[in-house]
Structure 1
Amino acid sequence: MASLEDKILGEKMHNYCSSSEESDGEDSDADSENPKPTHTAAALPEPNKWEGTSTNTGPKGVIKDWQRYKQLETEKRTDCEKERIELAKKLTLTVQSALEEERQALDDPELAELLDDEFLLTYQKQRMQEMLKQNQHNLKFGELIFLSNGEEYLDAIDKEHKNVTIVIHIYEENVTPCRIMNTCLRELSKVYNNVKFCAIIGSCAGLSRDFKIKGVPALLIYKAGQIVGNFIRLSDDLGDDFCAEDVQGFLVEHGMLEDKTCTPLIVKPGDTQRDDSD
């Protein structure tokens, strides 16, 4: 029968647990919940297997790495040289020597005919005549035309053929270089009969008094309704005493007139005249 003390403290057999037993129970529960990992020995790499790095760091490994580096460098240099040669072949232009062209001409009768000197001369002559005709016209003037007012001045420019070169001399009667210029233009009108030479007094053209004193003699060149040359006070360039050859050389030098000495020799004057008559 349990005593009063046993009832208060409880019986040891049923209600008392030692600290050692409790700690053992907690340890067993923790071990069951978190099992300890088992450690296994890691597999070691094979001693002579290549894995991207040298397995031998001694003198033999250094020599082996150097030999491998030189081998890769040689292969890279060889590949670059091959690419350079291929690119050069693509960019190289194929040309033939004169001997090869002659052999080809002998084999091809049509090409031999094209390379014939007489045929080439005829073709060049025909092409030169066609080019000259493009810049020529059938209009002939051959004299110096005097204009009396501004309307005639405008009509002489606007109502003319687009390929006609128009040279207009603005002058004053009491100026000596102006009188010489008119004489020179009369002579040039016969040499360049396809060029329209005109002359007008400055006051009739409606120019200012200052221009009539300081600007004459003046030459204005028009083509296709547009001014292509403007030369004022030509006495400063030609002097007070000049001739037709001086005026011609001045206009030829500035590209206003055709240079007669530069006519292609391949085109004979008789051929151009015959073509114009046709």
Structure 2
Amino acid sequence: MNLESRILDGKPAGYCSSSEGEEDDFKVVNDEDEHQANVMKRMGPSSNTGAKGVLNEFKAFREQTRLAYESRNQKLIEQAKKGMMVGSKEEREKAQKEDAEDEEDFEMTLEGLKAKRLREMRKIAANRVIEMTDKKQYSDAVDGSSEYLLCVLIYEPDSEDCEYLTRIIKILAADHSKTKFVRATSTLLEMSIAFKTNGVPCLQFYSHGNLIGNFVKVSSILGQDYDTKKLTKFLRGHHINLVAGGYATDSENETEEDD
């Protein structure tokens, strides 16, 4: 069995052959509803990691905050018209204090976004993801997974989905010393054209030489708006613990979620 067959036959997989007799005819299977995943873009590591990205996110946040303020003020106006604003001095002072705190939080948001982006950019720059240069290096990494949890990103250059997941993996690599992160091109691993087109980005996890996690076309599984937190939670749901660097039982997962 070649590597591609092992990947496609692995569980769980998000990619399958549409015909047993046609190796190159594949279709993508969505494990989650893409429409739901694309309803709203959440903040997270993205191509907007620079100053423009921070400002764009701040503008979006500011617009949401403005709409919230307008909605709140409109309710207050309606209450005033109905003669419902007869509150005590304590209540009025409390409301004024809350308004002041809201404005302070609003002013601090841009600095918070900048700091968050700076932390992410530093982790990306640290680049603790090892680039595989030949198949033997890949095999050696799998064989050595008795000493660590191995995360393999199979990607294609010039793919936006692959570049996005690469940034996510670089951030995770900086935070999880017990997991070894590597990546290899699908060409290096001699994948088919169909896999290069429809199977990447692909994440594999090995422990003690065994494939314990196999997620093909991650962007179709998680949608286009995932971040490190969403990916980590998804992996935990499949018993992969990046913190401990290994396979997690149901009880261990429950304990970690409680924490």
TM range (shorter): 0.3 to 0.5
| Greater strand share, structure number | 2
TM-score after normalising by structure 1: 0.41
TM-score after normalising by structure 2: 0.44
More relative contact order in 1 or in 2 (CA 8 Å, sep 6+)?
2
